[in-house]
């Protein structure tokens, strides 16, 4: 379970970009994170993938208060989280294979297993023919699929994705969303930050709606209901 209690975040001495954030993500839940530009989506994602510590409040992940974790415990905690960044953040000098294999190597998995798993996943995301390709030679969509493969290769407990289908054609986008759904069914908690209303409608999951640094959890039924009301 992931628990945020009265969490606030500020950068330096600036104003709070997130204030009094309070929500719970049950294990195996699926949420969309929505909000206008500047609403604090990236900051909230940063807190979720433990790229920052909150300036106030409590964050508890998988039963551990992250404020009390030391560096090594934080690293172990991060190994349970998969992240798809909006700008992919692939390592330029590594091939597609090595980029996807990176989380497994960090976890100390043996090379034989890495080879089997990575190859299989790259085939699945449609990049079986680009195993040795460097990211710089790939299209935005291909890079995004590498980033997604890298995030899911370890079958994380929590998967965070920032606009994961933004650069993909509809067919591949759907396949990847189905992959997220499958992972979710296997128990992975998923949070996807997106502006894609079509996707939100298609996959009927609750939303974490951010507005001006404040968060509101919206259940799908109420949200759909209001959408319907807005339409009529």
Partner 1 sequence: MKLYKKEAFIGRAKQRRFFDLGIHNSSGSGFLALLIGLMTFLAVLALATSFALSAMAERWSHSLSNQITIEIPATNTSKGILSTEDIDNITTKAGKILSRNNGVESVEIKTRKEVEKLVEPWLGEDLDLRNVPLPGLITVTLKETDEHVITGIRNSLKPLSGSIRIDTHESWLSDLLSFTSALQLAIFLIGSVIGATTIIAVAGGVRSKLSIHYEEVEILHLMGAFDTYIAKQFQVYAFLIALKGSVIGAFSAAAVLFLTALLSNDIAVTLLPDFELSTTHMVFLCLIPLMAAILAAIAARKTVMKDLLNMV
CB 158 within 8 A of CB 81: yes
Q: In the complex with partner 1, which residue's Cβ is closer, 129 or 170?
A: 129
Burial class of residue 33 in the structure, from the number of CB atoms within 10 Å of its CB (0-12 exposed, 13-18 middle, 19+ buried): buried
Q: In the complex with partner 1, which residue's Cβ is closer, 37 or 72?
A: 72
| CB of residue 204 to partner 1, shortest distance in Å | 30
Cα–Cα separations (whole angstroms), residue 204 to 86, 93, 119: 22, 39, 32
Instruction: Give dist(CA 146, CA 163) in Å, integer.
Output: 14
| CB of residue 106 to partner 1, shortest distance in Å | 5
Q: In the complex with partner 1, which residue's Cβ is closer, 77 or 174?
A: 77
Instruction: Give dist(CA 172, CA 125) in Å, integer.
Output: 8
Residue 199, both tokens: 């996707």
| CB of residue 80 to partner 1, shortest distance in Å | 8
Q: In the complex with partner 1, which residue's Cβ is closer, 151 or 200?
A: 151
Contacting residues toward partner 1, per CB under 8 A: 49-53, 71-72, 74-81, 83, 89, 91-95, 97-98, 102-103, 105-107, 115, 119, 128-134, 136-137
Q: In the complex with partner 1, which residue's Cβ is closer, 74 or 174?
A: 74
Instruction: Give dist(CA 128, CA 122) in Å, integer.
Output: 5
| CB of residue 82 to partner 1, shortest distance in Å | 9
| CB of residue 24 to partner 1, shortest distance in Å | 23
Residue 158: strand pairing partners: 81, 189
| CA-based nearest residue to 205, from 71, 33, 77 | 33
């Amino acid at each position: 379970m992931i628990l945020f209690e009265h969490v606030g975040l500020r950068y330096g001495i600036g104003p709070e970009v997130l204030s009094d954030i309070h929500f719970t993500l049950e294990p195996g839940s699926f949420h969309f994170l929505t909000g206008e530009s500047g609403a604090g989506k990236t900051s909230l994602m940063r807190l979720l993938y433990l790229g920052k510590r909150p300036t106030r409040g409590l964050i508890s992940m998988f039963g551990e208060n992250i404020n009390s974790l030391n560096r090594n415990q934080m690293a172990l905690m991060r190994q349970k989280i998969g992240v798809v960044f909006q700008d992919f953040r692939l390592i330029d000098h590594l091939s597609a294979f090595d980029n996807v294999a990176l989380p497994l190597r960090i976890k100390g998995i043996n090379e034989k297993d890495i080879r089997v798993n990575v190859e299989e996943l790259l085939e699945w995301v449609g990049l079986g023919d680009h195993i040795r390709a460097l990211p710089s030679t790939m299209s935005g969509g291909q890079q995004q699929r590498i980033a997604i493969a890298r995030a899911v290769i370890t079958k994380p407990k929590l998967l965070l994705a920032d606009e994961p289908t933004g650069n993909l054609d509809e067919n591949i986008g759907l396949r990847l969303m189905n992959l997220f759904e499958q992972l979710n069914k296997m128990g992975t908690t998923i949070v996807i930050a997106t502006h894609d209303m079509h996707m939100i409608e298609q996959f009927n999951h609750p939303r974490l709606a951010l507005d001006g640094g404040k968060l509101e959890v919206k259940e799908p039924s109420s949200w759909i209901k209001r959408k319907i009301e807005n339409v009529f």
